[in-house]
Amino acid sequence: MIVSTPEKEKDSPIFNINENNGSTNLELIKDEGALQVFRLEYQNHDGHFPKPLNLQWRIPATQVKGVWKPTADFSKRIEADWELENHESKISIDAPVISLFGSNDENILCFSCSNAINSVEMAAKYREEDNHFYCHFTFFTECKYPIKNFSADIRIDQRKIHFSQSLKETSKWWEGYENLKPTSVPAIAKKPLYSTWYQFHQNLDEDLLLKECRIAKDLGFESIIIDDGWQTNDTNRGYDYTGDWLPERFPDMGRLVKEIQNLGMKVGIWYSVPFCGRKSKAYQRFKGKFLTENHRWAPVFDPRYPEVRDYLVSIYVNAVKDWNLDGLKLDFIDDFKSYKETPFDTNNDRDHSSINEAVDALLTKVIIEVKKVRPDIFIEFRQKYTGPAMRKYGNMLRAFDCPGDYTMNRVRIADIKMLCGDTAVHSDMVTWHFDETVQDAALHYLNTLFGVPQISVMLSEAPKAHLDMIRFYTRYWNENSNVLLEGEYLPSSPLSNYPVQKVEKEDKIILGVFENQFLELTQLQKKIDIINAKPSEDVIIVVKHGNSEYNCSLYNCDGTLVQQRTIYLEEGINTLKIPICGLVQMKPIE
C-alpha cells in the first residue's frame, strides 16, 4: 500500500506499508504544511496473530547533523541502514519519537506516534546508495495474540524550529490523548531530594539515617527516599527477599517515618515492583504466575493475572496508609516484558493477553488507589520508563543511574526534560569521593541544576567546604526553581552533550555553561545569572545587538561573595571571569 501526498518527498512523506494479514488504512487527518498527522487503522476479524506491520518512508539526507532518541545518551550520531538495531518503545521503555536535527540545532524531521503503551519499533537510518534517510514504524513486533482493531496516529514535523521545541510540542500532543493524560504533580515533587542509595546501599542504620536527615533538611532538602534495604537485613545486593515487603530492618516503620516528618521532610520508600524473591512467602503463593523465573535478580510477577495486580496494589496502598508515607519509588518497571519462557496460551485466569496493557492496568489502579489515601503523593519512575504513558502514574521522572558521571547526568536530565511537560525531572542522585576539591565536587552538583537535584552522599562525613557548596547551590536552586522548572528551556548542541543550557522566564535568564563554549546574548534588558560549571574562569559572551551595562555580583562555589562590580557588555565578543564552578548575577542598569 502506497500513500502519497505532494509530489516532493521532502515536503510530505510518501508512505509504503507492507502487506499484512489484515486490512490497513492510512489517512491524513491534519495538514499544516510542514506539520502533518496521519491515522493508521488496522482491522483483522479472522482471529489471526497480526504479522509485523511496517510503515516506511524516506527523506533526502540534507542538513542533518545528528539523530536524537529518548535514551540515546552520548550516541546521537547518524546511523547507517546496515546498523540493524532499532529504537524500541512501549509503556515501560522510552517514548515513540525520533528527531533529526541540523547544525544549528534546527528541527529537520521529528516523527512520533500516539501508540505509547504497546510495542513499536522505529528508526531513521542513512542509506549510502541514494543518500536518503529511511524512516519507519513497525507495529506488532511482539504480538503473540489476536488483535481485531488497532489505531495509531503518526505525527510528522518538518518545521524549521529548534529541535527541542518540536520535542516539547510532541509531548504536548501526547497529552491530548485521553489514555495519556498526565497525573497531577504535587509541590514536593519539585523540591530537592535526599536519597539513601549510593552511600548506604542496603546497610541502612536508623540512628545514622536520622542524623543524615537533620543535616539534609538544614541544607535545603525537603524529602527523602529510603531506598533498598528497609525491607531486609540481607545485604548481598540481591532481591531474594522481595515480594513480601515487610519492614524487617525497621520493624516500626511508622514511627521512623513520623520522626523524619517531624524534622520537616517528606518520606518515600522504594519498591522493586516486578520482583518476587524465592525466599519470600509471596513466591509460594504466586507460583506459576510469573513472566519468568530465570531473571538474573528474581522471578518476575505476571501482571496479566488480576490477583497479582490486586496484591501489588494492596502492598502500596497499605504502606501509604499504615506508615503515613508521602511518596513511593516504584522501580524496575521495564522488567515487565516478554521472556523466552513467558506463556501466551489461552488461560482464563489471565484477563489480559498483552503484558503492556496489563502494566497499564496495574499502574492505573496503583495511582488511583494511593491517591485515595494521599492525594498529593509523589511517585518516582526512572529511565527508561519515562515515556508519555508513565506520566499517567508518576509525577517524578529520574535520570537513570550514572554514579560519578556528571556529564551523563546532565545529558539524561535534558533528554527527559524535553519530553515531560510539567512532570518533575530529577537528576540521578549525585555522589562523589570526599577527596575531591570543592570545585570538582561542585561539578557533580551543578550538572543537576536544570532538573531537580537529588543527592546521595554521607553528609555527616562530608568536608565542611563540600557542605557549604551544597548549601549555597541548594539555596540558589530553591530561590530560582520557578525559573529553572517553569521557564522556557533551551538546551544546545545535543551531539556535544548540551554544553550550554538556558532557561528564561519573564525578566530573568539563567545560563549554565558546562564546557569552553561561548554564550550568545540577545536580550540585554533582563536579569542574567551565569553558572560557570567548568574548570576554568573565562566565559566568552557574544552580544548580538547593542550594548548594556550591568551591576554584577560574583560568587565562588561555596557561596562567598568575591566581587561586586559594574561591567559593560558591548556588541561582539566579551570575556568575563567567573570563579570556577561559581556564579555571576547580573542586573541591567537602567
Same domain, 175 and 197: no
Out of 347, 372, 398, pick the residue that ends a domain.
398
CATH number of the domain within which 68 lies: 2.60.40
Same domain, 162 and 207: no
Place of cell 511496517: 54
DSSP 144: -
- The number of domains in the chain is 3
Same domain, 244 and 115: no
Average pLDDT of adjacent 10-residue blocks, the chain of 590 residues: 44 76 89 96 82 94 98 96 93 98 98 97 97 96 84 98 99 98 98 98 94 99 96 77 91 96 98 96 96 95 98 98 98 96 88 95 98 98 97 98 98 98 98 98 99 98 98 99 98 98 97 96 92 97 92 98 96 96 96
Which pLDDT tens digit goes with each residue over 258-310?
999 999 999 999 999 999 999 999 999 999 999 999 999 999 999 999 999 99
Which pLDDT tens digit goes with each residue over 126-157?
999 999 999 999 999 887 788 888 999 999 99
Same domain, 37 and 172: yes
Strand, coil or helix: 492: coil
Phi, psi values for residue 337, rounded to 5°: -160, 175
Long-range CB contacts (within 8 A, 24+) of 571-576: 571/543, 571/544, 571/545, 571/546, 571/547, 572/542, 572/543, 573/518, 573/540, 573/541, 573/542, 574/540, 574/541, 574/542, 574/543, 575/538, 575/539, 575/540, 575/541, 576/530, 576/538, 576/539, 576/541
In angstroms, the CA 371 to CA 314 distance is 13
Does some domain include residue 453?
Answer: no
* C-alpha dist (Å) from residue 448 to 33, 52, 87, 91: 38, 41, 26, 26
Does some domain include residue 278?
Answer: yes
Does some domain include residue 13?
Answer: yes
Does some domain include residue 404?
Answer: no
- The candidate with the shortest Cα–Cα distance to 588, out of 541, 542, 511, 527, is 527
Does some domain include residue 444?
Answer: no
Q: How buried is 46 (Cβ within 10 angstroms: 0-12 exposed, 13-18 middle, 19+ buried)? A: exposed
Same domain, 198 and 173: no
In angstroms, the CA 246 to CA 342 distance is 28
How much is the mean pLDDT over the chain? 94
DSSP H helices, 434-463, are 438-446
Out of 180, 207, 238, pick the residue that ends a domain.
180
Same domain, 257 and 217: yes
Does some domain include residue 465?
Answer: no
CATH number of the domain within which 351 lies: 3.20.20.70
Does some domain include residue 357?
Answer: yes
Same domain, 176 and 120: yes
Task: Note the pLDDT of residue 524.
Answer: 83
* Predicted TM-score of the model (pTM): 0.95
Same domain, 168 and 211: no
In angstroms, the CA 139 to CA 24 distance is 12
Same domain, 12 and 155: yes
For 65, the domain range is: 2-180
Same domain, 244 and 100: no
Same domain, 198 and 175: no
Task: Give the number of other Cβ atoms within 10 Å of residue 287's Cβ.
Answer: 11
Does some domain include residue 570?
Answer: yes
Task: Note the pLDDT of residue 492.
Answer: 97
Same domain, 158 and 206: no
Task: Note the pLDDT of residue 7.
Answer: 44
Q: Which amino acid is at 468?
A: D
Out of 363, 378, 398, pick the residue that ends a domain.
398
Task: Give the number of other Cβ atoms within 10 Å of residue 353's Cβ.
Answer: 16
In angstroms, the CA 374 to CA 186 distance is 11
